[in-house]
Amino acid sequence: MTTTTKSAAPASSYKPDADGRLLEVDDLHVEFHTPDGIARAINGVSFDLHEGETLAILGESGSGKSVTAQAIMGILDMPPAVIPSGSIRYCGQDLLTMPEEQRRKVRGPEISMIFQDALSSLNPTFPVGWQIGEMFRQHRGMNKSDAYAQAVRLMERVAIPAAKERVKSYPHQFSGGMRQRIMIAMAIALDPAVLIADEPTTALDVTVQAQIMALLAELQEERKMGLILITHDLGVVADVADRAAVMYAGRIVARAGIEDLYAQPAHPYTRGLLESIPRLDQKGQTLAAIGGLPPNLTRIPQGCAFNPRCRMAQDICRTELPALRQVGQQQSACHFAEEVLNG
Amino acid sequence: MADVILKADNLFKHYPIKGGVLRRTVGHVKAVDGVSFELQRGETLGIVGESGCGKSTLGRVLMRLEEPTSGTVNFDGVDMYSQSGSAMRKMRRDIQIVFQDPYTSLNPRKTVGDIIGEPFEIHPDVLPKGGRKAAVKELLDLVGLNPEHINRYPHQFSGGQRQRIGIARGIALRPKVLICDEPVSALDVSVQAQVINLMEKLQDELGLSYIFIAHDLSVVRHISDRVGVMYLGRMVELGTEEEIYQRPTHPYTQALLSAVPVPDPTMRGKREQIVLTGDVPSPANPPSGCRFHTRCFKAQDRCKTEDPELLSRPDGHGEHRSACLFAEPRVIVETIDVTDLEPDARFASTETVDQDAFAGGDGRLPADATSVVERSHATGESEGPLDRPNDTHRLIDNDPAEKRDPSV
């Protein structure tokens, strides 16, 4: 049931480099050409991901975290999306310049993704087993019955009760948590090296969220996958991530090991976010909010994009874009990062 | 001391399931299945539970948007369900609701002025026609929005601002009770705090009682005085915030609390996790005996047949109501008292005014920002058509222009 090797699995031609680095995103830009102008969704994002590591990408709606994931997966609608510059290297090969034929062999067997809304991501007109099996039929050339057998094996692996009986059920016959398990089964079907989870538990209740996060952690451990967890939930991140990157208006504004990020945030936005969440383990808490809203991506403020909402902002913040730079053990894109870190 | 404003007694709401050619009733979805509680004047009662536990239906039944199958609600000494149409309409002035989704609960073809003014149209004797516009402006001001935006349409506002509009409509008639059904769950984290703080401010100023329905246990802990935990149409535990969060006795509450992630990586692996297996059973066919026994880690044979009542049971410190035969306190959340801790004002503020009003689409401070500030101070001084309980509050404590210095 928990076997990780598959009968027909060809050896991957992709190997991580000597440091175990799987994915390297470098200065990625994505813009959307809309009737209202050019929305700059991602403005120079760089990060890397190693084997067996969990990287959290944190941000509010509109920060560009999901677009980053879609760019890596190569599932952006182009147009309206355009990638004017940047590179996404998987085991040294640039996915963006790769021919589509070759990229299809990466999408699924090498890098796969779990979406937030399992109901709308599954096809309502096909049995779930058919949809999981599609991975094997497409990429491994299996016949129908072998693919169904593999689907049962995977459904058992993600702990769907009575998998054999339910393999021919349709998505609407499953609960939200079970549908998310089916999504996970599809995503891990071909034993990918990188798994991207885009808000995997946002639509679920807390008890189910705990089950799904536990399952993901277990699968990651078992398969040594690199996991990119995209979320706005600071609680979930604290529970599972090794490192985190905080995104704001299409840029990474802070990057740190998970303990530093919470204990000594070096960016005012991260500090503000931490002040604004109610905590289960605190009583008598005074909540404070970051005023205002994230900017409209067609009109990102000059200088630091966060400056209109930042209570520390000075003249320099309105004119000069702060670069992401090393501050102590972490990185921050703030002109006053040292003050934030030490104050 | 106990001044009860609303008392629900044995409320049931069953929805028929129709089946077959003749559309006969073949069963019932037991959305609310015997719920009783009291709401004190001026307090916030949080109702938590997973999706499908009946918490939203409970809110609708309390508003009499749905007729209950059986049971009574006594509102301020009057039996709500025996009221005739006109008397009920009058009663609704005192009990209002704020809905979850700020995108679908506001009519897109009406201006904000029409939306917030509608309660005055429905209840024309509250306020003479001439005073309504001023009242709406005052309400906008009260919820931290710019009163000049009275003629704008909902789509011109952000999610957080729309929720403020929904709240303004809810408090327009100065109700005694406001039912809030997931009022902040559709909002971004940084905006959520603004709306929570606004709701707390309004409660202090207007003496409101809240029934706060939500699935987020952290938010509920923050805002509630007392908390009720629901499972499959029943209240399984009811107590003060401290009783529920520090010494829960029902296994379901304990499991729920243990599943909530805490934003503190140093706690990783140190917190006890009670993992519940399976999903919530269907409310059309709830399990016999204790409804939680199918997923309970403590279940015994007795639980399959005996239906435990919501009774006061010892919690190690005193006692509070819990519906478990084997109720036993268990520390799930190590609570830290942070009452004296003030948030760092350099990074976030406790202000309740909508600061987005000062920022244009590009996030910059418009030139008339200072006049907005002056206007807010002015309305604080003048008597509005609806009296405020006191005049000690200011919508804007410190000048926002200080913090959001126009740079250009």
DSSP annotation of B147 reads: G
* Among candidate residues A164, A212, A161, A162, the one with its CA nearest the CA of residue A188: A212
Q: B333: closest CA among A234, A279, A210, A214? A: A279
What CA–CA distance (Å, rounded) separates B115 from A124?
38
pLDDT of residue A196: 94
Total Cβ atoms within 10 A of residue A8? 11
CA distance A277 to B343: 11
Rounding to the nearest 10 degrees, give the CA dihedral for residues B35, B37, B42, B48: -50
* pLDDT tens digits along A243-261: 999 999 999 999 999 999 9
Which pLDDT score, from 0 to 100, does residue A28 have? 94
CA nearest to B44, candidates B204, B263, B256, B245? B204
- CB proximity B355 to A under 8 Å: yes
Say what the pLDDT of residue A215 is. 86
Ranges of each domain in chain A = 22-241, 248-278+287-342
The alpha carbon dihedral of B261, A206, B191, A244 has a sign of positive
pLDDT attached to residue B339: 79
ipTM: 0.83
CA distance B86 to A223: 66
Q: Is A80 on the interface with B (CB under 8 A)?
A: no
Q: Token pair of A188, please?
A: 């891990």
One pLDDT digit (tens) per residue for chain B, 408 residues: 468 999 999 999 999 888 878 888 888 889 999 999 999 999 999 999 888 888 889 999 998 998 999 999 999 889 999 988 888 988 888 999 998 877 888 999 999 999 999 999 998 888 888 888 999 999 998 888 888 889 999 888 888 888 999 999 999 999 999 999 988 887 888 788 888 988 999 999 999 999 999 989 999 999 999 999 999 999 999 999 999 999 999 999 999 999 898 888 888 878 888 888 777 888 888 899 999 999 999 889 999 999 999 999 998 889 999 999 998 998 888 888 887 777 777 777 777 777 664 444 443 333 333 333 333 333 333 333 343 333 333 333 333 333 333 333
Q: What is the CA radius of gyration of chain B?
A: 23
pTM of the model: 0.84
Q: Are A206 and A176 in contact (CB under 8 A)?
A: no
Q: Hey, which residues 200-229 in chain A have their CB within 8 Å of chain B?
A: 205-211, 213-214
Pick the CATH number of A22-241 from 3.40.50.300, 3.40.50.720, 1.10.3720.10, 3.40.430.10: 3.40.50.300
A279 burial (CB, 10 Å; 0-12 / 13-18 / 19+) is buried
Interatomic CA distance for residues A47 and A88, integer angstroms? 10
* Rounded CA separation B298/B296 (Å): 5
Among residues B286, B210, B12, B276, the alpha carbon closest in space to that of A204 is found at B276
CA atoms within 13 A on the CB side of B246: 14
- CA torsion angle B299 B302 B304 B305 (round to 10): -160
Q: Where are the domains of chain B?
A: 4-224, 231-322
User: Which H/E stretch holds residue A66?
Assistant: helix A65-73
Measured CA to CA, the distance from residue A176 to residue A201 in angstroms comes to: 10
CATH superfamily of B4-224: P-loop containing nucleotide triphosphate hydrolases (3.40.50.300)
- The Cα-based distances of A143 to A121, A147, A153, A164, B351 in angstroms read 24, 6, 16, 18, 63
- How crowded is residue A65: how many other Cβ atoms within 10 Å of its Cβ? 28
Over residues B44-71, the pLDDT tens digits come to 999 998 888 888 899 999 989 989 999 9
Quote the crossing angle between the two packed helices B132-142 and B112-122, to the nearest 10°: 120
CA distances from A168 to A155, A158, A173 (A): 12, 16, 10
B270 touches chain A (CB under 8 A): no
- How distant is the Cα of A135 from the closest Cα of chain B, in angstroms? 27
To test the contact with chain B by mutation, choose from A293, A302, A307, A316 the residue with the greatest count of B C-beta atoms within 10 A, namely: A293
What is the share, in percent, of chain B residues with pLDDT greater than 90?
Answer: 41
Which run of H or of E encompasses A247?
A: strand A243-248
Q: Quick check: helix, strand or coil at residue A326?
A: strand
Rounded Cα–Cα distance for residues A270 and A230 (Å): 16
Strands A54-58 and A243-248: parallel
Contact A293, B364 (CB under 8 A): no
Chain B interface disruption, residue of A166, A221, A280, most B CBs within 10 A: A280
Tell me: the pLDDT tens digits for B254-274? 999 998 988 888 888 788 888
Q: From the list A206, A278, A301, which residue is nearest B362 (CB)? A: A301
